[in-house]
Structure 1
Amino acid sequence: MREWLRSAIYKGRIMPTENEAEQQRADNRKRCAELGGRIAPTAQVSSAVSFDDPIDIGDGAVVYAPAFIGGFTYVNVGAVVFPHVRIGKFCSIGRNVQIGAARHPVEFLSSHPFQFSPALFNRVQGYPALQTEKWRFHEPTTVGNDVWLGTNCVIVAGVKIGDGAVVGAGAVVTKDVAPYEIVGGVPARRIRLRFDEDKVSRLLKTRWWDLPLDSLKNIPFGNIDQAITSIEAIRSSKENA
């Protein structure tokens, strides 16, 4: 059975049968299409992955469970979303991105998982008895809303990427990224903010990604000052209604 099914829980069992899992994946594809999204035929999306709004999962992408993907987010060709990842709305996930990549222990005798994980070589006599330590490969990883992850970047497990952030192509992110921060390099370092601190503060308060699509009509997206002012007015009118 494929490794990416191991986390699925179905009808009270630890793992579904292959037929049950395939049916659930087919149901997810159908539901996604009905919402206006797409899960490509060659994408491997665990039956236990959650989404509430349309998403787009490209060819060859892999999404392990448990994971949540917010509305209007797309995961490009070849990207991998590892377990315990939550991705917000309106995110752009580039080709071959890895989110929640495993951390290995470098303080142990070995960085190899024989010391703590039964996932590999468990049928080899004497191997399971060596698993005496505790380690978690995939700590919870969070990607906020309106985040752009450039081609081939790696987000290490346990990291939090703030709303509006940008990660440059090929970067390796080992630490949290602040909202609207642009980072790049190996390891990733701050380049600059997308906007000045006042605009960032105002944008975060608007939470525009939570507004109905109809509310975003006629917003001058290309002029950030006018866009923020327009969205603030929309928010104010809703609060006073």
Structure 2
Amino acid sequence: MMALVDPSTVFPLAGYERLCFLKNVVRHPQVTVGDYTYYDDFESVENFQKNIRYLFDFTCDRLTIGKFCMIASGVEFIMNGANHLVDAVSSYPFAIFGGDWATAMDGKAYPVKGDTVIGNDVWLGYRASILPGVTIGHGAIIGSYSVVTRDISPYSIVGGNPGRIIRSRFKEETVAELLEIAWWDWPLEKITRYAGLLTGNVTDFLAAVRSDPT
């Protein structure tokens, strides 16, 4: 009989409360986190939500994080509330201070770059920063201290400021097959059966999947 890991567990490692299954900790209506995505913090898992910067209800943007992601301590998400005018004479937000400046933004709007979306099986390294409106594809790895300013393709390895794709983890045809398989959407029992192969060689994993009638 399988001993399945319960995704509703807050702290899945016995006696260790600095790593959590994140969906059980985040309490913000504009943030969605998938099963088994974990966050590990040097101090407290409550820091995760503090590190979602400039997320305001009036901007209506969302942060969506997939399943089976790995998020290291200090990762920051900069949301659309941080945006200022770029093409105007001044970027200063006069209108927010009211008074005689209250109408300064009439007929205008601050830039909005859309939702921030993190795919499934994504590893975000220590103190990486994700800027507004970015989509990070499934299986990507974002290196420590990277600043991600644009969309990242699936299974890419990214590093630097601004973050640049260093290389793909796998060949193009392998990436396409992995995306079609989408193992993170399998029933938990099947994921559990394949856990040893998921932590091994991609060739062996794909061969097993191809020969599996289920």
Quote the offset at 1:183 in angstroms: 0.9
Residue 55 (1) aligns with residue 21 (2): yes
1:207 paired residue number: 182
1:24 paired residue number: none
For 1:204 and 1:105, the matched residues in 2 are separated by 38
1:98 paired residue number: 76
2:87 paired residue number: 107
**In structure 2, the residue corresponding to 1:129 is in which secondary structure?**
coil
Equivalent position amino acid for 2:135 in 1: K
1:87 paired residue number: 65
Aligned 8 A contact 1:143 1:160 in 2: yes
Q: Would you identify which runs of 4 or more consecutive aligned residues in structure 1 move more than 4 Å?
A: 61-64
Structure showing greater relative contact order (alpha-carbon pairs closer than 8 Å, 6 or more residues apart): 2
Provide the TM-score with structure 2 as the length reference. 0.73
Residue 186 (1) aligns with residue 161 (2): yes
> Compared with structure 1, are the counterparts of its residues 96 and 160 closer, same or farther at alpha carbon in structure 2 (3 Å cutoff)?
same
**In structure 1, the residue corresponding to 2:209 is in which secondary structure?**
helix
Aligned 8 A contact 2:131 2:148 in 1: yes
For 1:110 and 1:76, the matched residues in 2 are separated by 40
Provide the TM-score with structure 1 as the length reference. 0.66
2:109 paired residue number: 134
> Compared with structure 1, are the counterparts of its residues 126 and 112 closer, same or farther at alpha carbon in structure 2 (3 Å cutoff)?
same
1:125 paired residue number: 99
Aligned 8 A contact 2:85 2:111 in 1: no
Quote the offset at 1:231 in angstroms: 3.1
Quote the offset at 1:229 in angstroms: 2.3
> Compared with structure 1, are the counterparts of its residues 233 and 207 closer, same or farther at alpha carbon in structure 2 (3 Å cutoff)?
farther
Aligned 8 A contact 1:100 1:141 in 2: no
Runs of 5+ unmatched residues, structure 2: 1-5, 12-16, 42-46, 56-60
Q: Mapping of 1:161-172 within 5 angstroms?
A: 161-172=136-147
Match of 1:74 among 32, 38, 42: 38
2:10 paired residue number: 37
Equivalent position amino acid for 1:67 in 2: V
> Compared with structure 1, are the counterparts of its residues 184 and 135 closer, same or farther at alpha carbon in structure 2 (3 Å cutoff)?
same
> Compared with structure 1, are the counterparts of its residues 110 and 176 closer, same or farther at alpha carbon in structure 2 (3 Å cutoff)?
same
For 1:88 and 1:164, the matched residues in 2 are separated by 10
Q: Percent of aligned positions with the same letter in both sequences? A: 34
Corresponding residue pairs, total: 185
Q: Mapping of 1:15-26 within 5 angstroms?
A: none
1:206-227: CA deviations, max 9, x gaps? Answer: 1000012210214422222112
Residue 230 (1) aligns with residue 194 (2): no
1:65 paired residue number: 29
> Compared with structure 1, are the counterparts of its residues 76 and 131 closer, same or farther at alpha carbon in structure 2 (3 Å cutoff)?
farther
